[in-house]
Amino acid sequence: MPKVVVIDDDVEILKIFPRLLAGSEFEPCCTSDVEAFLERVRSDRPVAAIVDFWLLDNSALPLLDRLRAEGQDLPVVLMSGGGGGHSALMAETLGEVCGIVSFLHKPFRRAEVIEALRGATVALN
Amino acid sequence: MDTFRNPSLPGVCTTKRHLEAFGRSDLAAAVLMERIVRDAYDSKSSSAIQPLQWSILRYIERSPEDRCTLTLITSYLGLTHAPVSRAVRTMRDRGLVGQRSHPRDARSAIISLTEAGRAALELDPIRKIALLVGTLPDSERAAIKRALRSIAISLSS
């Protein structure tokens, strides 16, 4: 089953993903740690990643830079509900400048996540 | 604090303290950014679509229908309810958007684009700038995106 790596510093959000993607064609691997996320990307060969815009006190943009620097062309779906000085609009715009394929505005529904992942996978193919 | 007018940038007052932190060409670059965006928006006419209204139109254009409620648009833009509500009302009165009841939430309404709204988006002024960015050599495109990203993050933090 195609894997999707999910990173969010909010573990409550991470707990949602296995239930959210249950019954779909995607299997989530969730982590709140940047290094663990990168290791998953290298070892699990996921088809996409879902990345929260805020990872502790930093934006996810340096992480997206690291992905690209490692030569990973993994499609990234960015998620944000705004906050931390950035609206969801700004988070999406900054993400798009960094090459994300899709954006999820929190709170989102199951169908929206699956649609975003399907779109991301199509973009990869 | 002492201020003075910069002869190369009429109308711009600056401070000596600021000049220690950036040069004249940095200030000129900031003025260019301002001019590029201001010139793209033809706001001389009172009937022109305002920047916030453009943001709302763009959101509606690319969002699923059931996410086009006042609450979600306001949340996405990171604004308060009142200005977004006013902007939607103005655009509804001008025939750019329509409103109808939400099928699953009696308290909210779905806001959608009308034909006039779609036609307006074809002339979205921001597209002019995007087109010009798209014509830059790859290295310059990457550099401008990188620089704008850094500035945007610094301004927000």
Average pLDDT rounded to a whole number, residues A77-92 = 90
What's the rounded Cα separation, in Å, for the pair A110 and A116? 10
Q: What are phi and psi of A6, to 5 degrees?
A: -120, 130
Please give the residue that has the higher pLDDT: either B97 or A124.
B97
Please list the residue range(s) of chain B that carry CATH number 1.10.10.10: 51-122
- Calculate how close chain A gets to B62, using CA atoms only, in Å: 11
Q: Does domain A3-124 have CATH number 3.60.15.10?
A: no
Contacts of A94 in chain B (CB under 8 A): 149, 152-153
Please say if the pLDDT value at position A41 is more than 90.
yes
* A 29-58 residues inside an 8 A Cβ radius of B: none
The answer to whether the complex's ipTM is over 0.90 is no
Shortest Cα distance, chain A CAs vs residue B149, angstroms: 6
pLDDT band at B40 (very low <50, low <70, confident <90, very high): confident
| CA contacts within 13 A on the Cβ side of A105 | 23
Instruction: Please name the residue that has the structure tokens 């779905």.
Output: B110
Enumerate the residues of chain B whose CB falls inside 8 A of the CB of residue A80: none
| B-proximal residues of A, 92-111, CB under 8 Å | 93-94, 97-98, 105
Exposure string of A8-33, with b = 16+ CB inside 10 Å and e = fewer, is bbeeebbebbeebbeebebbbbbbbe
Rounded to two decimals, the pTM is 0.86
Please report, for chain A, the start and end positions of each structural domain, with discontinuous segments joined by +.
3-124
pLDDT tens digits for range B115-136: 999 999 999 999 999 999 999 9
CATH node for B51-122: 1.10.10.10
Q: How far is A94 from chain B (nearest CA, A)?
A: 6
pLDDT at B17 over 90: no
Question: Searching chain A, which residue's CA lies closest to the CA of residue B78?
Answer: A87
On whether the CB atoms of residues A54 and A83 are closer than 8 A, the answer is yes
Please state the rounded mean pLDDT for residues B68-84: 95
